[in-house]
Amino acid sequence: MANYFRITAYHPAKNICAIFDSNGRFEKLWQFSAYLVQKGFKIVEVGADDKFLDGNIPKAPAGEQLVLRACAKGQPVINGNSVEVSGKHYTPDNEA
């Protein structure tokens, strides 16, 4: 899946965290990251193309360009290699 990215981010001013997917909206991962930073988020974890394990969050279907997968108050929970937000989890893994 070309140009599929997943980012977990934290917004300190609003004390919220979220998992976002981008399916074709951005050409490069850094563009997606920069977009979220412009919105006030700090990047916690990133995954590009097939470089992460889906966990219980399947990839968005084709045509869905920017998807909020999960959000919660506070920071995301990082448990070993897994990232969790509001019961949704995945594993950002460069070896996936």
DSSP string, 72-96: EESPPEEETTEEEETTEEEEE-TT-
Token pair recorded at residue 74: 């506070």
Distance CA 94, CA 14 (A): 30
Note the pLDDT tens digit of each residue in 10-48: 999 999 999 999 998 999 999 999 999 999 999 999 988
Confidence of residue 49 (pLDDT cuts 50, 70, 90): confident
Note the pLDDT tens digit of each residue in 51-76: 788 889 998 888 879 999 999 999 99
| Whole-number Cα distances in Å, 78 to 15, 24, 62, 82 | 16, 27, 28, 6
Global model pTM greater than 0.95: no
